[in-house]
Amino acid sequence: MDDRLRTLRSDVEDHLALPEFAVVQARARGIQRRRTAIATAAVVLVTAVTAVTVARLTDTTRSAPPVDRPPTLKVDSEEARRVLRDPRAQLDTDLSRVDGTGSMLAVVRVTKPSFRTQEARACPRGSSVLRWTSWGGSRHVWLDAPREVRALPAGFVLGAPPRECRGPRQHGAYFVDADGHPRSITWTHGARRVCAPDPRDPRCRFNLFTGKGTLLDVDQPRGTKLLTAGRGGPWWAASKGDRRLYWSADGRTWRHQDSGWPDDAIPSASAVGRWGVLAGGTQVLFTHDAGATWEERDLAPALSGLEVADVDWTVTRRGTLLGVTQLVGRGDVLFRSTDASWTRFVQSPVHTSFGLVRPVAVAEALYVVDDERWAVSLDDGAHWRRTPPIP
């Protein structure tokens, strides 16, 4: 057997023809062509990957729109209810809001004594909850970091928590819809940077139906504050002294109206929808057709029977005029026109524990912030209802 194997080689060598070396050379050329092709493909691939990477880094408009998804929320969990039941729980009146349907999103925090820094004490983990309460009485509560809240006609936008308050997967903003359920926000170009940290910015527009957050392109007059951003009506802005109202159809070209009140009058400017009001005491200059016509009126006769000092005026989308006057020893008193012609005013039975009354209008709802139980009206102040207590 061994011999047979050992003689195999010589037998094969003796009977094997030697092919032309050109055959080998041709194959070598094929190998070199393959290597060149592979090297070229590698260079092309590396170039393409580099180009795509650079394009992704530099072209922010090309990428898919950013989406903020709500954090994983344990709605109505026992932990959240426990925070709500804590005797130290307090309503954060700066962050809480009421939407246009009368639903309330209450930010409730338990402030525990701490020797740590102010920032650390601002957001202790597991000690703040959001409680959603509908006008009809439905409720949901969940643990979440304190956030800026923007009230919508039906629902809310919860901004991204401040950096020092972020927990795991709590870096984005999200919607709370009309049923109190969290939903994602898809941001259009450039909106996330501005609107996620502070959705209350008037330039930010939100649509719960499409789930989109948009940053409106506004070129407002210098030194003005934006009042409303063109939703279902013109854009409104007021001068810092509230003596001039600006309006615009596109957010770029503006017209304005001056009140012309004497310097000793305390001015106020209010605008929503097609209504705009410049006021100084009982004198008002107003438009109900988005600035097309203006009318001046002294409301003193309509206010007869009411005790009135300096008045801060607010107009609602339906044209009801609300006034707040501060009376010595009695705190703020709220009164309202009984109709859009402003020929008669009546006092509203709304008072707060700290005396200040500041009506806030959101779409069809009107609310007044109080220590804990806020006053909410869905008929421009004719009837009021208090939000539920905590817990």
Partner 1 sequence: MVADSGYVREVYEASYRRLVAQAYAVTGDRTEAEDAVQEAFARAVAAGDRFGRVDNPEAWLRTVALNVVRRRWRRSRMFRSLGPRIASPAEVPGISEDHVAVVQAMRSLPFQQREVLALFYVADLSVQEIATMLGVASGTVKSRLNRGRAALGALVGANVEADHG
Query: Which positions lie near partner 1, rule CB under 8 A?
Result: 1-2, 4-16, 18-19, 21, 23-25, 27-28, 30-32, 35
Residue with Cβ nearer partner 1 (13 or 295): 13
Q: Which is nearer to partner 1, 21 or 209 (CB)?
A: 21
Task: Give min distance, CB of 29 to partner 1, in A.
Answer: 8
Instruction: Report the nearest approach of partner 1 to the CB of residue 3 (Å).
Output: 9
What's the min distance (Å) between Cβ of 40 and partner 1? 16
As measured in angstroms, the least distance from the Cβ of 7 to partner 1 is: 7
Q: How far is CA 367 from the centre of its chain?
A: 19
Q: How far is CA 228 from CA 5, 22, 233, in A?
A: 98, 85, 9
Q: Which residues pair with 275 in a beta bridge?
A: 272
How far from 143 is each of 146, 172, 323, 345, CA to CA, in Å?
9, 15, 38, 43
Report the distance separating Cα 345 and Cα 265, nearest Å: 21
CB neighbour burial string for 129-154, b if at least 16 within 10 angstroms, e if fewer: bbbbbbbeeeebbbbbbbbbbbbbbb
Of 2 and 78, which CB lies nearer to partner 1 in the complex structure?
2
Closer to partner 1 at the Cβ: 10 or 58? Answer: 10
283 and 303 Cβ atoms separated by less than 8 Å:
no
Question: Which residues are 270's β-sheet partners?
Answer: 277
- Name the minimum Å distance from CB 26 to partner 1: 8
Find the shortest distance in angstroms from Cβ 46 to partner 1: 23
Nearer to partner 1, 25 or 72 (CB): 25
User: DSSP string of 218-236?
Assistant: --PPTTEEEEE--SSS-EE
Of 35 and 193, which CB lies nearer to partner 1 in the complex structure? Answer: 35
> Within 10 A of 116 (CB to CB), how many other CB atoms are there?
9
